[in-house]
Structure 1
Amino acid sequence: MSKEFVEKFLEDDKDNNDDLLFSYRGVLYPSRLCKVETFEALEAMEARKDDVLIVAYPKCGTNWSRYILNDVVAEIHRDLTPPNNFQLLEFGHPEKIKDINEWPSPRVFTTHLLYDNIPKSFFEKKVKILVIFRNPKDTAVSYYHFQNKNLLLPSVDSWDEFFQKFMNGEVAWQSYFEHALAWDKHMDDENVMILTYEELKENLCEGIKQIAEFYAFPLSEEKIKSLASKATFQEIRDRASQTHGSIAPVIFRKGEVGDWKTLFTEAQSREMDAKFEECLAGTKLGRRLRYDKYCKF
Structure 2
Amino acid sequence: MPVPYVVYNGIKFPPAYNSERSLGFAHKEFLVRDDDVFNVTYPKSGTVWMTEILSLIRSHGHPGWSRTVLNSDRVPWFSTRLGLESALSYPSPRLLTCHLPRDIFPESFSSSKAKVIYTLRDPRDVVVSYYHFCRMCNSYEDPASFEQFLRDFLDGELPHGSWFEHVQGWMEMKDKENFFFITYEELKK
TM-score normalized by the length of structure 1: 0.57
8 Å contact kept, 1:89–1:110 = yes
Any conservation in 2 of the 1:52–1:109 contact (CA below 8 Å)? Answer: yes
Deviations 1:123-160 (A, max 9, x none): 21121110000011011111111111111100012111
Q: Which structure has the highest helix share of the two?
A: 1
> Does residue 1:18 correspond to 2:3, yes or no?
yes
Matched, 1:186 2:173: yes
Q: 2:88 aligns with which of 82, 88, 101?
A: 101
Note the C-alpha offset of 1:98: 5.1
Which residue is 1:141 aligned to?
128
Residue 140 of structure 2 corresponds to residue 153 of structure 1: yes
Distance in 2, Cα, partners of 1:123 & 1:74: 28
Say whether 1:172 aligns with 2:159.
yes
Aligned partner of 1:55 in structure 2 is 40
Is the 2:6–2:20 Cα contact (8 Å) retained in structure 1? no
In 2: Cα distance, 1:195 partner to 1:117 partner? 21
SS at match of 2:29: coil
Deviation at 1:83, TM superposition (A): 6.6
| Pair 1:165–1:34, CA change in 2 (3 A) | same
Q: Does 1:91 align with 2:77?
A: no
In structure 1, list runs of 5 or more residues that go unmatched: 1-15, 203-297
Question: Counterpart of 2:40 in 1: which secondary structure?
Answer: strand
The size of the alignment, in residue pairs, is 183
In the TM superposition, what are the counterparts of 1:125-140 in structure 2 within 5 Å? 125-140=112-127
Decide which structure has the larger Cα Rg and report it. 1
Higher-strand-fraction structure: 2
Which of 50, 55, 62 matches 1:70?
55
Distance between the aligned counterparts of 2:50 and 2:86, measured in 1?
A: 23
Which structure would you say has the larger RCO, counting Cα contacts within 8 Å and 6 or more residues apart? 2
The root-mean-square deviation of aligned C-alpha atoms, in Å, is: 2.2
Q: Residue 179 of structure 1 aligns to a residue in which SS?
A: helix
**Match of residue 14 from structure 2:** 30
Task: Render the CA deviation track for 1:27-73: whole Å, top value 9, x for unaligned.
Answer: 01001210011122222111111111011000010111011101110
CA distance in 1, matches of 2:120, 2:86: 29
Secondary structure in 1 matching 2:176: coil
Q: Which runs of 4+ in 1 moved over 6 A?
A: 80-83
Corresponding residue SS for 1:186: coil
